[in-house]
Structure 1
Amino acid sequence: MEYKDYNFGLIGLGVMGQNFILNVADSGFRAFGQDLDQEKVDALKKAGDDLEKVNASTDVKVFTQSLSTPRVIMLLVPAGKIVDTVIDGLLPHLDKGDLIIDGGNSYFEDTDRREAELKEKGIHFFGAGVSGGAEGARKGPSIMPGGDKEAYQHVKPIFEAVSAKYEGDPCVAYLGPKSAGNYVKMVHNGIEYGMMQLTSEIYDLLKKAGGLTNEELHKVYSKWNDGRLQSFLVEITAEIFAQKDEESDGDLIDKILDKAKQKGTGKWTSQNAMDLGIPIPTIDIAVSMREVSALKDERVAADKLYDRPEPLEMEKEKLISMAEEALYFSFIMAYAQGMSQLAAASKEYGYELNMATVAKIWRAGCIIRAGLLADIADAFKKDNDLKNLLLAPSFVPQVQDTISSVREIVAFAVKSGVPVPGLCNSLNYFEAYTSSHLPLNLIQAQRDNFGSHTYERKDKEGIFHTEWGK
């Protein structure tokens, strides 16, 4: 039996794709999926139960002919060449005015290229970052679309229906032209890298210097999640410490190898921030630490060559309290750096981002959702041109109240031989950004000395050069 006029098409029926398309069907739309893997097609049909609501095929022609026009087709396939391959396979079966949405983590420049190429053929294209993992895809993710504003209207009702809700507001909004959606998702992932690194450093410090058991860590992170650190990452961290190992006795966390993998979005964030001249050291070091973690054999060998100090002693409750303040402070730094990069990119690439809107659609559904985002949205609502969260009047007391503990706990960690590069970079970012004088006058003098690169003066306008040593 054939069914026609499905409202929404989705290519790529892996876990994310299947969950997303079932979400679409449950939200009152008729959805049709496509995948070359017959098992995945059959699995979707079985999970969907009612073929009038959700159906699928391995045949791209059957897929496209089953969709109402203008067609709305979303791709949930790995970033890279496969996206171009899927698009090339679709094109012979599409009509002018149809819309292709890339829901993967594609590099933003690839999205700009694809949009330009498809525009010449009369096909709309935009990137839409989707965050929330498999569970978010099924129950409501945060969605970050960017591209042709008129074309977005065709998918807007669907995206608003399937997205996560924060106090009734859908966590999706049209963000801007071209690759705005993919760029915002890229920076979202960069902030995610930073927050994950910071969370793990606090865990390491509490375990090594504080001697906390996994049960105690579970209770600490659970308590923090009930307070100002309320966030998805703190919530799941608490869950992780309570998870028993099914393969052997003990807790699963203690059996997991300390080598973290990555898919590239954090690296892209760092690379592009450097292109824009925007400092994001908390995110940068988070990327580097995943690379350091991969050097497991070298780390084991080096550990045998060097002495490490015994952790200093500190009253446990004091350490826990200071750790909470340090994590809260450093979360603010990660958001501040990511938002400043978005603001710079918006001007550089013509995205015209509404920064408050970006923060609002991150409040639920996505991996970096946190109570802090409501305050961030309010800060940018008052001033969309805010250059940095550290300049927002509402954030000054929040940072001021925590900074002394951050300084103390970083010093404590360093003297105890516990690596906390994310915390250090967060603190140093703050110290440098809030310093009216930095020693870069010496660097300018050095550059002029060895390369005649010139310098500026404090006391008069102009560009100067000195014949040093003469």
Structure 2
Amino acid sequence: MQLGMIGLGKMGANMAQRLLQGGHQVTGFDPSADARKNLEGHGGGSADSLKALVQALPAPRVLWLMVPSGKITDDTVDALLALLDKGDTMIDGGNSNYKDSLGHAAKCKDKGVNYVDCGTSGGVWGLAEGYSMMVGGDEQVVDGLKPIFETLAPGKDKGWGRVGPVGSGHFTKMVHNGIEYGLMQAYAEGFSILKHKEEFGLDLAQIGNIWRDGSVVRSWLLELATDALSKNPEMDGIAPYVVDSGEGRWTVNAALELNVSAPVITLSLMERFRSRDDDSFTDKLLASLRNEFGGHAIKKE
């Protein structure tokens, strides 16, 4: 199958490379000339504009978007709609908000363009291990794209599937990332407790390796944590500042809208916010209040 790849950052480039290895023809566009040259080095074609990319693909065209969520995706969808024809297909494999995806799908439907939202997980490991893909879209359209998903997935019949209509793919990936927040927070807190029991002199990497086999808490995230602890036991040179991609916030918002209790995911998001406050007004006021009502000592800066 021949398709266009829009966005040749690390993940997009790796996905294009995996598709090429699987026998697909890939032509890519990225504003970066170096990114386009990199794709050519792996046997793909390149175009220096969206218009050139669309013109290079045979009809009906299939285009896979791997661009940042929000305005960039909005602008890319609008630009493509001015170039595509009825029967062409647009796949958004990025981390768009599912509500945005519903809006994109409506625009595409008006022009007769198929729209598929594909929540994609796998990160930098996807090239070698394959990607987990949660696909939303018309069943017949998704069936026609099976060769692409089967090549990108860990196996033809595993790691991917159509989860429902348009919007459901990104919704499922959103919740997936919310769960990820909670799991990461639990591992980080657990290993921190172990580290603070200094009199035992615990080897955290050793413990992580023990848990990797047979334990009920074994997982790929645990493997990554163990590897990180093996390389840098004290986490030297790493600032205690945790960013968020936005999907944790969206998951919490969805829980509120659906009246679903999700305290672990919510608190893990709050902890990320807290990590960024190196001069916490909240904590200063808490210390002041303890002094006001109980005369407790205040630690000066």
Q: TM-score, normalised by structure 2?
A: 0.89
3-state SS in 2 of match to 1:65: helix
Is the contact between residue 161 and residue 170 of structure 1 (CA under 8 Å) also seen in structure 2?
Answer: no
- For 1:254, give the aligned amino acid: D
3-state SS in 1 of match to 2:164: coil
> Whole-Å Cα distance in 2 between the matches of residues 43 and 58 of structure 1?
13
Cα displacement (A) at 1:300: 11
Cα displacement (A) at 1:17: 0.6
> Whole-Å Cα distance in 1 between the matches of residues 283 and 86 of structure 2?
61
184, 191, 194: which one pairs with 1:203? 191
Residues 1:174 and 1:211: Cα distance change in structure 2 (over 3 Å): farther
Establish whether residue 171 from structure 1 lines up as the match of residue 159 from structure 2.
yes
Establish whether residue 221 from structure 1 lines up as the match of residue 216 from structure 2.
no
Is the contact between residue 145 and residue 180 of structure 1 (CA under 8 Å) also seen in structure 2?
Answer: yes
> Whole-Å Cα distance in 2 between the matches of residues 151 and 157 of structure 1?
12
Is the contact between residue 243 and residue 252 of structure 1 (CA under 8 Å) also seen in structure 2?
Answer: no
Any gaps of 5 or more consecutive residues in structure 1? 1-5, 245-250, 307-470
> Whole-Å Cα distance in 1 between the matches of residues 281 and 210 of structure 2?
34
Cα distance per residue 1:9-63 (max 9 Å; x no partner): 11000101100000011111111111121111112112x1x3xxx2112122221
Establish whether residue 74 from structure 1 lines up as the match of residue 64 from structure 2.
yes
* Alignment correspondent of 1:188: 176
> Whole-Å Cα distance in 2 between the matches of residues 212 and 18 of structure 1?
46
* Alignment correspondent of 1:272: 254
> Whole-Å Cα distance in 2 between the matches of residues 226 and 31 of structure 1?
39
Residues 1:95 and 1:300: Cα distance change in structure 2 (over 3 Å): closer
Any gaps of 5 or more consecutive residues in structure 2? 289-301
* Alignment correspondent of 1:446: none
Cα distance per residue 1:191-221 (max 9 Å; x no partner): 000000000010111111355657x100101
3-state SS in 2 of match to 1:222: helix
Is the contact between residue 81 and residue 108 of structure 2 (CA under 8 Å) also seen in structure 1?
Answer: no
Establish whether residue 23 from structure 1 lines up as the match of residue 22 from structure 2.
no
* Alignment correspondent of 1:84: 74
3-state SS in 2 of match to 1:100: strand
Establish whether residue 232 from structure 1 lines up as the match of residue 220 from structure 2.
yes
- For 2:239, give the aligned amino acid: L
3, 6, 9: which one pairs with 1:11? 6
- For 1:180, give the aligned amino acid: S
* Alignment correspondent of 1:441: none
**Ranges of 4+ aligned residues in structure 1 off by more than 4 Å:** 210-214, 299-302
Greater strand share, 1 or 2?
A: 2
* Alignment correspondent of 2:273: 291
Q: Which has the higher contact order (CA 8 A, sep 6+)?
A: 1
* Alignment correspondent of 2:241: 259
Is the contact between residue 199 and residue 234 of structure 1 (CA under 8 Å) also seen in structure 2?
Answer: yes
Establish whether residue 121 from structure 1 lines up as the match of residue 117 from structure 2.
no
Total equivalences in the alignment: 287
* Alignment correspondent of 2:140: 150
> Whole-Å Cα distance in 2 between the matches of residues 286 and 45 of structure 1?
41
**Highest Rg: 1 or 2?**
1
* Alignment correspondent of 2:292: none
Cα displacement (A) at 1:230: 2.2
Residues 1:28 and 1:197: Cα distance change in structure 2 (over 3 Å): same
> Whole-Å Cα distance in 2 between the matches of residues 18 and 131 of structure 1?
15
Is the contact between residue 99 and residue 124 of structure 1 (CA under 8 Å) also seen in structure 2?
Answer: yes
> Whole-Å Cα distance in 1 between the matches of residues 219 and 96 of structure 2?
26
- For 1:153, give the aligned amino acid: D
3-state SS in 2 of match to 1:297: coil
Residues 1:179 and 1:211: Cα distance change in structure 2 (over 3 Å): farther
Cα displacement (A) at 1:139: 3.6
- For 1:135, give the aligned amino acid: W
Cα displacement (A) at 1:146: 0.1
Residues 1:274 and 1:56: Cα distance change in structure 2 (over 3 Å): same
Is the contact between residue 77 and residue 104 of structure 2 (CA under 8 Å) also seen in structure 1?
Answer: no
> Whole-Å Cα distance in 1 between the matches of residues 200 and 245 of structure 2?
32
> Whole-Å Cα distance in 2 between the matches of residues 264 and 61 of structure 1?
31
Q: TM-score, normalised by structure 1?
A: 0.58
> Whole-Å Cα distance in 2 between the matches of residues 16 and 176 of structure 1?
24
Is the contact between residue 20 and residue 138 of structure 1 (CA under 8 Å) also seen in structure 2?
Answer: no
Identity of matched residues, %: 35
3-state SS in 2 of match to 1:191: helix
Is the contact between residue 24 and residue 162 of structure 1 (CA under 8 Å) also seen in structure 2?
Answer: yes
Residues 1:131 and 1:299: Cα distance change in structure 2 (over 3 Å): farther
> Whole-Å Cα distance in 2 between the matches of residues 192 and 213 of structure 1?
29
> Whole-Å Cα distance in 2 between the matches of residues 218 and 76 of structure 1?
35
> Whole-Å Cα distance in 2 between the matches of residues 14 and 212 of structure 1?
45
3-state SS in 1 of match to 2:120: strand
Residues 1:101 and 1:213: Cα distance change in structure 2 (over 3 Å): farther
